[in-house]
Amino acid sequence: MRVILVGFGVIGRGVIKVIKKKREYLKKKYGMDLKVVAICDSSGAAIDEKGLDLDLALEVKKKRGRISEYPGKGVTLPVTEVIRSVESDVLIEVTPTNLEDGEPARTYIIEGFKSGKHVITANKGPLALYFQELMSYARRYNRIFRYEASVGGAMPIINLARETLAGNEIIEIKGILNGTTNYILTKMEREKLDFDTVLKEAQELGIAETNPYQDISGLDTAAKIVILANSIMNMKVTIRDVKIEGITRITPEALTMANKGGYTIKLIGEVKRNKLEVGPKLIPLDDPLNVKGSLNVAKLYTDLAKEVIVVGRGAGSIETSSAILSDIINIYLQTSKG
Amino acid sequence: MILLDLELKDSPGELLKALTPISEMGINIHSVIHLREKKSDGKVPVRIVLEDLDEETLERIVERLEESGIVVTKVNNKVRKMDVDVVVIGHVVDTDIRDTIDRLNKYGLVVDLDLTMPHPFKESSARMRIVVDSKNLEDLCREMEKLSKEKDLLFIKSF
């Protein structure tokens, strides 16, 4: 199976490392010969229809910072041109998230479908803003569209709900879908520190981004809730429909108050009929949603299986790439049948 | 059989206070179960199992219990009254806490209040426990939203 990778930042490099690591395993277990035929970043691309040397690609990116300097095979074509002209089975789109207009990821995904490729993305922007449109392209061109890595990183949730829990109606999903805010609240609670101090520390440790706005404002969680609502619960909503409150006003005193009453405070995303909400909530100390550190957790209420709870790592390049790999394998298994 | 879930204070005589009106009405009590593992904030949930009753008698029992200050949380597993907790962040006192409580009391009853004020210029936090009829829960939420906008308070809810 041939894949094109668009986006060669932290996640993109994680995907390449995971493919490298699992290549033999995939061959043995599934008989899959996985080739990366193109890697694109903002500088251009490296293209080899026989399959790129992945070690070399990582090295070029590390030393030169630009994949277009890949020896002999580097080009400065625009990404859309690469997607259109290079033959491959799957497009993996992992460019940075843009929650304003979903670009350029939206265009790349659509180009992928138009040129006959199945698409995998980890990108919340286009999914939270243009889910219906992207699905309609996938249908029109009869291609598979998968995006497990967009919500909860390595924590299985989308495919869990749609495949493993198939037959169940999902009535409600509630959980912590942002590791950074969970880390901050956990630390504030344990060490009685104020929000700004813990945020600064989290930034120094690389847990929070230099611009943490999307995380602490609740926007990142809102995007994920929208993806879950559309993909699992058949709703037709966008991020503009979510009521959002972030965690910037939480104080250590409020956490102590909550603790005294047998609760903790978590940034919870919640979706059910007539409710699409992100905000700090009181969670009983003995509730399974009270997970610590940067973990993610989700509770799915279903009609038959009742509550199902998953916990996992919501971030990290290798962790997120594991979700992308599961999508690759799934597409391979679906398309190689008969 | 009828199941009545009550919430009693964890002190002597409380159970008797609940059982007396029932027996005075000549109703047979099958069993009394203490749900001590669910105890919270000094309240013990107790389930009373009664013989089968018609709707009207059942309603009379519930009324009598409530008149004597007992919280009936569920009737036959249907939620009737619930305890909700909120932590409020903001200038809780300066924005007239009396008025905040009065307005919440229109839809429920604030039964517990805990307050912390770290510094006169900093935002304070309050924890409230509110007993509310399940049918009034939405109205209570709406009132909290109004208060939140008017007084710039953040309500962190347990529900």
Q: Say what the pLDDT of residue A233 is.
A: 95
Q: Say what the pLDDT of residue A220 is.
A: 95
Q: Say yes or no to pLDDT of A134 above 70.
A: yes
Contact B85 A251 (CB under 8 A): no
Q: Which domains does chain B have, with CATH numbers?
A: 2-79 (3.30.70.260), 82-157 (3.30.70.2690)
Q: Which domains does chain A have, with CATH numbers?
A: 2-154+317-336 (3.40.50.720), 161-313 (3.30.360.10)
Distance of CA A84 to the CA centre of its chain: 24
Is the distance from CB of A105 to CB of A123 less than 8 angstroms?
A: yes
CA neighbours closer than 13 Å in the CB half-sphere of residue A219: 15
Mean pLDDT of the B132-150 span: 95
Determine the Cα–Cα distance for residues A324 and A122; give it in Å rounded to an integer: 7
A62 part of the active site: no
Of A61, A73, A187, A224, the active-site residue reads A224
Q: Say yes or no to pLDDT of A145 above 80.
A: yes
| Confidence class for position B97, pLDDT limits 50, 70, 90 | very high
Residues of chain B contacting A281 with CB distance shorter than 8 Å: 156-158
CB pairs under 8 A between A and B: 60
Q: Is the peptide bond before A104 cis (omega within 30 degrees of 0)?
A: yes
Residue numbering of the annotated binding site of A for L-homoserine: 209
**ipTM of the complex, rounded to two decimals:** 0.85
CB contacts under 8 A, A 90-129 vs B, are: none
| The one-letter amino acid at B85 | D
For residue B83, the chain A residue with the least C-alpha distance is A261
A295 bridge partner residues? A313
Chain segment B43-96, per-residue pLDDT in tens: 889 999 999 888 889 989 999 998 888 889 899 888 888 889 999 999 999 999
CB contacts under 8 A, B 116-155 vs A, are: 116, 118, 122-127, 129, 154
Kindly state the helix (H) or strand (E) to which residue A219 belongs, with its residue range: helix A219-232
Q: Say what the pLDDT of residue B119 is.
A: 82
A259 touches chain B (CB under 8 A): no
Is the distance from CB of A177 to CB of A221 less than 8 angstroms?
A: yes
Q: Say yes or no to pLDDT of A15 above 70.
A: yes
Is the distance from CB of A304 to CB of A298 less than 8 angstroms?
A: no
| Confidence class for position A2, pLDDT limits 50, 70, 90 | very high
A44 bridge partner residues? A41
Contact B158 A281 (CB under 8 A): yes
For residue B122, the chain A residue with the least C-alpha distance is A251
Average pLDDT of chain A to the nearest whole number: 95
Residues of chain B contacting A193 with CB distance shorter than 8 Å: none
Q: Say what the pLDDT of residue B117 is.
A: 85
A245 touches chain B (CB under 8 A): yes
DSSP line for A3-68: EEEE--SHHHHHHHHHHHHHHHHHHHHH----EEEEEEETTEEEE-TT---HHHHHHHHHHHS-GG
With helix as H, strand as E and coil as C, how does chain B read? CEEEEEEEECCCCHHHHHHHHHHHCCCCEEEEEECHHHCECCEEEEEEEECCCCHHHHHHHHHHHHHCCCEEEEECCEECEEEEEEEEEECCCCCCHHHHHHHHHCCEEEEEEEEECCCCCCCEEEEEEEEEEHHHHHHHHHHHHHHHHHHCCEEEECC
Q: Say what the pLDDT of residue B82 is.
A: 87
Q: Say yes or no to pLDDT of A338 above 70.
A: no
Q: What is the DSSP letter of A240?
A: G
| Confidence class for position A229, pLDDT limits 50, 70, 90 | very high
| Confidence class for position A230, pLDDT limits 50, 70, 90 | very high
Chain segment A165-178, per-residue pLDDT in tens: 999 999 999 999 99
